[in-house]
Structure 1
């Protein structure tokens, strides 16, 4: 790999083996370097590919304005997330997490912490991602000597969830709120105390997450109002619960459930309500 563009002492452009333009980050990797020089592999901390030119531009601007130590810490956090989840996360996560961590550190030093209003929902419904967020706080403390509040673990978890499921953070936040609301409706309707230790509940939460992802991304759906009407007559108790969920979505989020959505939900509510707790 040879240097094709020098941004600063810690950032250069190069080309990978596929001929793609990449951003190469490392302490001193651009210091006393000239275009055409071979990139010093010993100094490489991270190679950002970037799925689009827009992503590359955002990454380049981001790493220019953020201290090297903060970027290095975030690279470690993201690598831990990848290893823990066992999946590839695209380079957009570097933008989201690095930007967030940098501002969180600034807030720490100015004593202007932000409360996370979704912390309970994140802890309950995104447990693996929240555990990654807590580990991130440990990494930051070990590397930088400061302990960020637990609310930040929740925010970082949302960035991971967002990269896993949705291109829009707003959809991820709405999904968490709706998940919490829908499950509470079912809890109160059937007066059951649900716990993720119960396999049926865990499966229901996973299924509901998948449903909400498609619902919020407005994927095309066939209407099935007749099917839902048939099921509602067969299972009136479950239908009452679904109608409450329908109203909750309309009033709380301005979202309309189709017949197919309601048919899907009534099956899920039926299955959950008949489980043993």
Structure 2
């Protein structure tokens, strides 16, 4: 058997398309003999693995993109994870394909069909053809069942410095028409203004609906022991004081974090700085209660 396949297999994590093997002069009979001998594994009717054992995440991505062929790209959360996103892992592999392609389904792989220009969205990392992080995030957010999860992903890719809100806004224009575009534009403007989480986006939404001024976000402050801190949201009050709202997520309920947050609140507070807290759940489910309390503290 020709040995030319080994270099290609090494570049593709041991995964090869049958069409690639044919181009290397390796017949289907020789492929079948390798599979029968247990040295190779048929993953799909179009793809074989030149290694045995459980496939890695990247090998599964290679299998999906080679199975689809053509201009197919790794997309969705699979692509954003490959770009470096953490905390959003999904076992299912997403492959973005041209709407005209025809092929068999593959277990564990979601083929997302689109008429958009895949060549414009293409980026190669480690040899793997990927969707660039901006279109990957926006297309996933637009078609994810939960709009909140979609907005949360946009905040996450910016917060983890994989892209910027401005670049996402530019890509949003290129993707027109796109489902939820108006919602995403508002969220991205908030993110560009400093919002780094879904809860901070909820603060912006709450303020717009209640007619309150939008806060300054992620303001750098030095606390009473000289440590640099970044506050979630701040508003100047008419009497010259500053109102600070800190938003607690679920992990803040752990005893260790809860005590750290109490100490943080004490050290940020001063004669001219009022520090209050709310939970992300309150912002989501009871924003009117938070609005009432902020107004009682002097916010107009």
TM-score with structure 1 length normalisation?
0.38
- Say which structure, 1 or 2, has more relative contact order (CA 8 Å, 6+ apart): 1
Which one has the bigger helix percentage? 1
Which one has the bigger strand percentage? 2
Which of 1 and 2 has greater Rg?
2
TM-score with structure 2 length normalisation?
0.35
